[in-house]
Structure 1
């Protein structure tokens, strides 16, 4: 048994670090969400919606993103029509947590790891705001394609982007990069 523990030590350290980081960050995020009342939206989701609205205004689109009076989401009114709603899960924090846990599990030098995590979180956030903007526009024009756009294409894009970041991290900056 000891032979196998020694043989698989790098893998076990990776898995242990990944799950410890993932569970810890998920619990912290859960505590953060619990500071809000049942019908309130968390600040990260609100800021994501506000940034999507600002970008759409910059692109000269007629859009209003506002808190729903009765439910915990943001209504996106595009050209006078309610097109989508932004809920807590639309802020990409769960994707960021997954990204950070993986990078920590393959950590490198402290400063490099910290900067890559910050870069990754910021780039995932920006990509997510672009996702909200594009989903609003596309679902306005193609409302029957909700499953394809929201359920397939955009998750593929955001998770594909995270996967590319992980590949870059492992090959260029982690302690395993050569």
Structure 2
């Protein structure tokens, strides 16, 4: 058994750090969400920020768009050219993707400063791309409503997770302690 732990120590350390970071961040996020009353249709602050920033981005591109609170659930309605297209719920705010990203960065340890900066800037990039994702999705749903499943369930998740994957590759190869040092 000791030989097993010695042989697989790097993997087990990675797995332990990943699970610990993921569970800790998820617990903190769930605690944050518990402060909002979804039964009273109260939307959390991060989802509100994403919703209104999406509206502002659409306005920047001269779109006739508005974000209004949903009267029957904890979400915001996206109104584009007078048409109700979609809703922004808590799951649309990218926090779960950011938690996954940060847990991976923490698991593949790097220098503390690099880890904090990469996790911070990577999280901001994911957040900003998510706002762009929702705005572009709104535009595309208006003009191509029949493609909703493809756009929402396939194309845009592929884009956001693709960016996360690229960030992970950069982290592992350039900044983590496992990165090869070429001389």
Shorter-chain TM-score: what band? over 0.9
Question: Normalized against structure 1, the TM-score is what?
Answer: 0.99
Q: SS of the residue aligned with 1:70?
A: coil
Q: How far off its partner does 1:66 sit? A: 1.3
Q: How far off its partner does 1:69 sit? A: 2.2
Q: SS of the residue aligned with 1:72?
A: coil
Aligned to 1:62: 64
Q: How far off its partner does 1:144 sit? A: 1.0
After superposition, where does 1:12-91 map in structure 2 within 5 Å? 12-38=12-38, 39-91=41-93
The runs of at least 4 aligned residues of structure 1 exceeding 4 Å deviation read: none
Cα deviations by residue, 1:101-149 (Å, 9 ceiling, x for unpaired): 0000001000010000001100000100000001100001111111100
Residue 3 (structure 1) aligned with residue 7 (structure 2): no
After superposition, where does 1:86-125 map in structure 2 within 5 Å? 86-125=88-127
Aligned to 2:160: 158
Residue 128 (structure 1) aligned with residue 122 (structure 2): no
CA distance in 2, matches of 1:49, 1:156: 21
Q: Which runs of 5 or more structure 2 residues have no equivalent in the other structure?
A: none
Give the total of aligned pairs: 178
Q: Which runs of 5 or more structure 1 residues have no equivalent in the other structure?
A: none
CA distance in 2, matches of 1:28, 1:48: 19
Aligned to 1:140: 142
Question: Normalized against structure 2, the TM-score is what?
Answer: 0.96
